[in-house]
Amino acid sequence: MKYIKDELLPELLTLVTFDTKIRDEYVFEKDDPFEKIVVTGRGGTCLEDVFEHARRNAPTAMIVFSDLEVRIPGNPGVPIIWICIGNNSIEVPYGQLINLDE
């Protein structure tokens, strides 16, 4: 996310950390430094809260980092890039999938 902020210079970048629910939300404006963030979670994944957050806030796009061992709900109405870590056999019903090895 730091790379995206530093290279693409978005006017606003919102980083939402989650597991079975939203844990934290960090908001960075264009000129804000990307400060250290703490990713919290307990294992397990549910996308419902994150997608509801997207429906309410209408971001330009979403980038979801996950192993995608999860039920994928209906499209929240924004372009999505899935960064899937360590699960090369997964397919997604919409959006663009990028697989990464652990």
| Sequential pLDDT tens for the chain (102 residues) | 888 888 989 999 999 999 999 999 999 998 998 877 888 777 789 999 999 999 999 999 999 999 999 999 999 999 999 999 888 889 999 999 999 986
- Which pLDDT value is given to residue 102? 67
- Which pLDDT value is given to residue 38? 80
Residues sharing a CB contact under 8 Å with residue 102, sequence separation 6 or more, in sequence order:
85, 86
Q: What is the 3-state secondary structure (H, E, C) of 22-49?
A: EEEEEEEECCCCCCCCCCCCCCCCCCHH
Decide: helix, strand or coil at residue 73.
coil
Beta pairing class for 12-18 and 22-29: antiparallel
d(CA 93, CA 29): 31
- Which pLDDT value is given to residue 40? 76
Q: What is the pTM of this model?
A: 0.87
- Which pLDDT value is given to residue 85? 87
Q: Which has the closest alpha carbon to 50: 40, 38, 39, 59?
A: 59
d(CA 49, CA 38): 19
- Which pLDDT value is given to residue 21? 93
- Which pLDDT value is given to residue 84? 94
